[in-house]
Amino acid sequence: MQAKGKAEEQRKPIETTVNAELWKQVEILSGKEGRKTEEIIDDAIRLYLKSKGGIGEIEGDLGGHA
């Protein structure tokens, strides 16, 4: 049980960084009028993953829905 707690603690800073980056992209993309929130978030996630060089593998894993 203790190992699980430690793994979660180590993951938190990574999640915080990812969330911060995604929300920066969401803020930028939300400036475009007439877009649905879902589209904005999808685009933000795509841009973030592209910036990290991992979108191809993730899209493949999700059947192209990333």
Q: What is the pTM of this model?
A: 0.39
**Which residue ranges make up each domain of the chain?**
38-66
pLDDT of residue 42 exceeding 80, the answer is: yes
Q: Which has the higher per-residue pLDDT, 35 or 44?
A: 44
- State the pLDDT at residue 10: 62
pLDDT mean across residues, the chain: 69
Instruction: Place 57 in a pLDDT band, splitting at 50, 70 and 90.
Output: low
Amino acid type, 51: S
What is d(CA 22, CA 52) in angstroms, rounded to the nearest whole number? 12
